[in-house]
Chains A and B, each alone.
Chain A
């Protein structure tokens, strides 16, 4: 790659760890606008089945924006417009006939702030199942989801009490349980640990390593070490201010060890050295 301005993604070379063909989500965003504001350009990543992909970069580089466009959460923002494509299982989720509600049932999301509903632990986990009209034994499904989120032992005695009484770390694992209860194909995690203490963060990271056996995960993180610990693939996004505005773009994308040990681009090297952030 010769020019960081063009983009690193399309320049990505196969053979250094990732396989192109079994990508569950093939995302190629040429431009992403909010009204007239160009927020992101030139991001192309492929989420391979059973891997964790991390988006890293300084504040305002658009990493959360990219993540939220993978399950059409950005549709809620007025003026949102995307040029490009996000192929999920062979289908572009931005095609006109696609229902964003259906997309979100396959591609779940965990948010930065733990956001359980003001209901019991049980009803939080059962929420998605009920939305989908699940008819089977709810108790089993809820227990299974809570076990997957490594929360069952802590909450099994207070399953009928309010989820808001749980600690922050427990609430976030509850949100993960809620998301995996409906067995989505992909789990998007938007800085899931930024509101948590180190111990809770560690638990979530362990959990992610466990979850990737079943789910394909994409995570946005501010914490470089976290990306290094959990991610198989890492994408580095940076801000381009040359055209006047602040437009995020992808500088480099590759297997995590290579990204951290041998970053090819100057901004990546500087960021990983900790010169800004």
Chain B
């Protein structure tokens, strides 16, 4: 009849004391300890992240100025210089990779989750995509080297784009698949009940409703691809020059502009971080900072777009 741990209080009577916070009560104590534990784990998990960011900002900000963002990489002993061409190259390669992987991934997801969800093809595609997420990125580079570099006869931005697209594709497909599955079936029913054809159901209701979540997947994939170095090393290679020989130099104007070795931030960081020259090492830090900021900008744009399309 008495709750033992509350000091012999009688059931039916309310002991006012027991309503107050007390760490002596085992439940309260347990709850407090668990809150502390989760909080501590969060701090621990964020610590490496923030220490990297701190390092990047403190080391990178020193050479960050208009010149570094707009000049070409400096030669070995030369002072100054920048990595304008690498920023442009990264953007071009990412754009190519996105243009390749997003339509393929989204259409593939539409098939897998809407058109033939129970078919063997769908099961195979899902399995393959899951396996591909674990693909070592250097193999994506090998694949693109064999398929694009060898056949087109040289290193190029599209070759880098294909390698990165291969890395982005499974992420895009699997997140789009999940996003489509999360669209409530009663919305499909509503559209069908209004006389929408299966195609209209997909294009007018399912994909627009799933779009914000799909975009999150695309952003994750872009963020991962933007930092990849290995797949670019023998596909896009690197270039000391601007992407175009005509003014404005940062704008590719012909196919030929694209079909030659292309600079990227990731490869530049890789090259310069091992350099014996202080100027190049400093630029590598700054380039790393710029790369992180670029990914951050992509994310913010993505989130804003996702927020808008929900209206």
Q: A residues touching B (Cβ–Cβ < 8 Å)?
A: 71, 73, 76, 101-105, 108-109, 111, 113, 115-120, 127-128, 130-132, 160-162, 175, 178-179, 182
Contacts and interface: CB of A to CB of B under 8 A. Distances in A.
A162 B308 CA distance: 11
B205 interface: yes
A111 B190 contact: yes
Contacts of A175: 190
B209 interface: yes
A116 B196 CA distance: 15
Contact of B311 (A127, A132, A161): A161
A178 B194 contact: yes
Nearest to A75: B192
B186 A115 contact: yes
Contacts of B205: 117
Contacts of B74: none
Contact of B195 (A101, A115, A161, A162): A101
Given A76-B189, A115-B186, 8 more contacts: A101-B196, A103-B195, A118-B209, A119-B208, A119-B311, A131-B196, A132-B195, A162-B311
B310 interface: yes
Contacts of B311: 119-120, 160-162
B142 to A, nearest CB: 42
Contact of A101 (B186, B187, B197): B197
Interface string B47-87: 00000000000000000000000000000000000000000
Contact of A162 (B191, B192, B208, B310): B310
B193 A111 contact: yes
Interface size class of B (residues with CB under 8 A): 10 to 19
Interface of B: 184, 186-187, 189-197, 200, 204-205, 208-209, 310-311
Given A108-B194, A127-B194, A115 B189 contact: yes
B209 A117 contact: yes
Most chain A beta carbons < 10 A, residue from B186, B189, B195 = B195
B204 A131 contact: yes
A127 B209 CA distance: 14
Nearest to A182: B194
Contacts, number: 67
A102 B190 contact: no
A160 B189 CA distance: 23
Nearest to A190: B193
Nearest to B195: A105
B192 to A, nearest CB: 7
Contacts of B310: 118, 162
Contact of B200 (A115, A118, A131): A131
Contacts of B194: 104-105, 108-109, 127-128, 131, 178-179, 182
Contact of A131 (B186, B189, B195, B208): B195
A115 B192 contact: no
A199 to B, nearest CB: 23
A68 to B, nearest CB: 9
A104 B193 contact: yes
28 contacts: A73-B192, A73-B193, A101-B196, A101-B197, A103-B195, A104-B193, A104-B194, A104-B195, A105-B194, A105-B195, A108-B194, A109-B193, A109-B194, A111-B190, A115-B184, A117-B190, A117-B191, A117-B205, A118-B310, A119-B208, A130-B204, A131-B194, A131-B195, A131-B196, A132-B195, A175-B190, A178-B194, A179-B193
Given A115-B184, A161-B311, A102 B209 contact: no
Contacts of A111: 186, 189-190, 193
Nearest to B205: A117
Contacts of B196: 101, 131
Contacts of B200: 131
A124 to B, nearest CB: 9
A127 B193 CA distance: 12
Nearest to A179: B194
Given A101-B196, A104-B194, A128-B194, A118 B204 contact: no
A116 B194 CA distance: 12
B189 A102 contact: no
A111 B189 CA distance: 9
A132 B204 CA distance: 13
Contacts of A105: 194-195
A102 B195 CA distance: 6
Most chain B beta carbons < 10 A, residue from A109, A113, A115, A160 = A115
